[in-house]
Amino acid sequence: MKETLLFLATPITASIILAGMLGYFGTHILARRIIFIDIAVAQIAALGTMIGLLLGYAEEAMEVQMLSYLFTLIIIGAFALYKSNSLPIPSEAVIGIIYCLGLALSLLLAEKIPGGSNFITKTITGNILWVTWDKVIKLGLLFAIIGLIHLLLGRKFYDLSNHQNHKESALQLKERSLNLLFYITFGVVVVKAVLIGGIFLVFTLLIAPSVAAALFVKSWKGRLLWSWIIGLLGTMTGIFISYWLNISNGPAIVVVLGLLVFVMAFVKLSRPLHQ
């Protein structure tokens, strides 16, 4: 049992970090009503990595990471500009097109790269169970910096996220800059999280705990806290199940979190209306 806990200490620590940061951003994403933005950003980041691999660089080479960030920042910047201009096109339509385009290009590139299909599978499902302490420490330091930025500008980000029904074209230059900063930090978080958890797990951790918390808690701080707690419990449970049953950890965690949301929704709907 001791050996098991020592082995799982690393992925559990990673899940604490991921659940906290993604739960925070998930609350913002729900308020902004751009639910699928992270899966599109993650896919575009993977496309940047595929291009790096095609150019002959190693998967974790600095050049590959820079390409991933470059593609991510281009998409994030374009999306922030699109939101500010308030074009008469639904945000989810734009996000869906970006995701499909990124996935299609990645699949085409995978045909030209040895082991390309395996890389796509790993990008989608992740492998948090085998994350190293080196990656966890680097992730924690990066997220701490981003957390500090959001701690200092939290009120302003909150105001922007809770006024998305207003015309964004009416935003002042300073507010647009803050909006862009929000999307940039969000993009960095998604890119780094996907390297550990995979696209599906990151998307689920971003949305599922926030949705579950929103069912029962109205206050912003309450939703942030419960998003982190729900995400952490679901992730840890999935990690233990995947380890004991020797099954894929990413899909196991996604199933646990998904079922948890549906159970909580059922409990909420089963309550008498007068409550």
Any domain includes 204: yes
What is the tally of structural domains in the chain? Answer: 1
Q: Which of 180, 227, 223 is nearest to 21 (CA)?
A: 227
Helices (H), 33-61: 37-54
CATH number for position 113: 1.10.3470.10
Q: Does a structural domain hold residue 231?
A: yes
pTM: 0.85
Per-residue pLDDT tens for 12-71?
A: 999 999 999 999 999 998 888 888 887 888 888 888 888 888 888 877 778 888 888 888
**How far, CA to CA in Å, does 213 sit from each of 13, 73, 227, 238?**
22, 30, 6, 19
The CA-based angle 232-233-236, given to 5 degrees, is 80
Residue 178 has pLDDT above 80, yes or no: yes
Q: In which band, very low, low, confident or very high, does the pLDDT at 148 lie, cut at 50, 70 and 90?
A: very high
Q: Which structure tokens are listed for 172?
A: 């002042």
User: Looking at the domain assignment, is residue 71 inside a domain?
Assistant: yes
On whether residue 50 sits in a domain, the answer given is: yes
Of 79-93, 137-151, 184-198, which gets the smallest average pLDDT?
79-93
Q: Which of 68, 175, 87 is nearest to 60 (CA)?
A: 68
Give 195-245 pLDDT, tens digit per residue: 888 888 998 999 999 999 998 888 988 999 999 999 999 999 999 999 899
275 belongs to a structural domain: no
Provide the residue range defining the domain that includes 110.
2-267
Report the pLDDT value the prediction gives residue 275, as an integer from 0 to 100. Answer: 46
121 within some domain: yes
